[in-house]
């Protein structure tokens, strides 16, 4: 019997992308509700409890509401794409390459929190340095990221693409997140094994999709962090939990 999968929020930006990929598969059955019924609480609850796997493509509060609908259903496996559960200890973080034990943890988990776009890039860069002993846990990391505008959802897409939009955006790029309180900071702190929240400023550019995070270099002699000349750190190598450069090198 094919596994039944319900995408709660299938008509949004993320849900449409996931559905397009899953539709190609013949080993699963996709459950669906009409777009006009997407806010029908009773129908959503029915679909969630009928499914074997639920993929939540919803805002944070709506994801929490959906999880509450199936609180007594221990057979349902859930993948949440919002920020709601990414640092929740009861949920497994869905970044398989992050750690040597992560693939098995994801495979056996009932509750999986899908990593954010910016954190995926930042963790891929920073966590290997932490696990290799190159970067101390109190290192003042700063992150400058460039995002495609689809990350802003339907409203930003319309502003960037529709010339008749009442509030169009014509700039090639613009900054946001200048308060350094971006919603992805908590998961980047936790899963990068850092003791402090790092700063993050985001630029949205005229790219349909793509995210390019970069780590900044803080100023000050006590903040320097270095390795042997020519040393490289790969994510897969670092994920094996083998410290190949001692922490005394920082």
Q: How many whole angstroms separate alpha carbon 159 and alpha carbon 101?
A: 42
Instruction: Give the residue, 234 or 125, on which the prediction is more confident.
Output: 125
Instruction: Give the residue, 236 or 11, on which the prediction is more confident.
Output: 11
Query: Which residues neighbour 39 within 8 Å (Cβ) at sequence distance 6 or greater?
Result: none
Decide: 154 and 13 in contact? Cβ < 8 Å: yes
pLDDT in tens, 84-118: 999 999 999 999 999 999 999 999 999 999 998 88
pLDDT in tens, 205-219: 655 555 444 445 443
Whether 117 sits among the annotated catalytic residues: the reply is yes
Instruction: Give the residue, 199 or 166, on which the prediction is more confident.
Output: 166
Structural domains in the chain, sorted by start: 3-84 (3.40.50.720), 117-249 (3.30.360)
Tell me the whole-structure pTM to 2 decimals.
0.76
Q: Which of 57, 117, 225, 250 is catalytic?
A: 117
Beta bridge partners of 175: 203
């Amino acid at each position: 019997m094919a596994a039944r999968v319900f995408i709660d929020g299938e008509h949004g930006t993320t849900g449409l992308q996931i559905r397009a990929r899953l539709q190609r598969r013949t080993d699963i059955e996709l459950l669906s509700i009409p777009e006009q019924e997407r806010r029908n609480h009773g129908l959503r609850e029915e679909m969630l409890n009928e499914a074997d796997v639920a993929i939540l493509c919803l805002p944070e509060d709506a994801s929490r509401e959906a999880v509450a609908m199936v609180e007594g259903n221990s057979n349902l496996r859930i993948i949440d794409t919002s920020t709601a559960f990414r640092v929740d200890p009861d949920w497994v973080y869905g970044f398989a390459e992050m750690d040597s034990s992560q693939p098995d943890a994801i495979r056996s988990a009932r509750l999986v929190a899908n990593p954010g776009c910016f954190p995926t890039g930042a963790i891929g860069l920073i966590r290997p340095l932490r696990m290799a002993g190159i970067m101390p846990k109190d290192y003042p990391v700063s992150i400058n990221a460039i995002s495609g505008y689809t990350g802003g959802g339907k409203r930003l897409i319309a502003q960037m693409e529709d010339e008749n939009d009442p509030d169009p955006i014509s700039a090639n790029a613009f900054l946001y997140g200048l308060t350094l309180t971006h919603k992805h900071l908590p998961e980047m702190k936790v899963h990068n094994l850092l003791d402090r929240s790092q700063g993050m400023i985001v630029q949205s550019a005229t790219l349909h999709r793509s995210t390019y995070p970069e780590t900044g270099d803080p100023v000050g002699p006590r903040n320097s962090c270095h390795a042997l000349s020519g040393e490289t750190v790969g994510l897969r190598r670092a994920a094996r939990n083998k410290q190949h450069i001692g922490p005394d090198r920082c």
